Amino acid sequence: MINETMSISKQLSMNDSGETGGHQAGMLIPKNGEILGFFPKLDSSRKNPRASMYFTDKYGKIWKMNFIYYNNRFFGGTRNEYRLTGMTAWFRESNLKAGDEIILTRSNNQLSIDYRRENAPVMQESITDGTKKTVLLIGGGWKVIDY
């Protein structure tokens, strides 16, 4: 059997980590083929198909998360997006903040989850219409990690 390992990562935004206080339906997963290829295939002919995923952290604790394709746009609604949900408890237990990076790995169909502490989110001062504002720079995003 060939050991097939794939890892993806995402630098957390303040919205991902819950620091904005807004309700979050889960982290948005881009429709990029490489990133989407990490996740199980879902039947798009069904409304809002989902798959449970069980990730093991570095302490051996198992975390259930859900990969969902919110496709109700094709069933009379408005959404057409992939999300990974059920992450809030892991974020809190790991004390993750914006700027930290999550790392998801699949190796021989075993899933693991980890994180790397990063710098605080980048803030920049901006002047718009003569008004000085502090703006959070959104960056990072998902990426495939090459070994």
pLDDT digits over 18-77, tens only?
A: 777 766 657 889 998 889 999 999 999 999 999 999 999 999 999 999 999 999 999 999
Give 65-115 pLDDT, tens digit per residue. Answer: 999 999 999 999 999 999 999 998 999 899 998 889 999 999 988 999 999
- Res 1: pLDDT: 45
On the question of pLDDT at 12 being above 50, the answer is yes
Neighbours of 70 (CB within 10 A): 20
- Residue of 39, 38, 63, 61 whose CA lies nearest to 51: 39
pLDDT, position 2: 52
Domain 5-27+52-65+86-145 CATH (choose: 2.60.40.10, 2.40.330.10, 3.30.30.10, 3.40.50.410): 2.40.330.10
- pTM of this prediction? 0.78
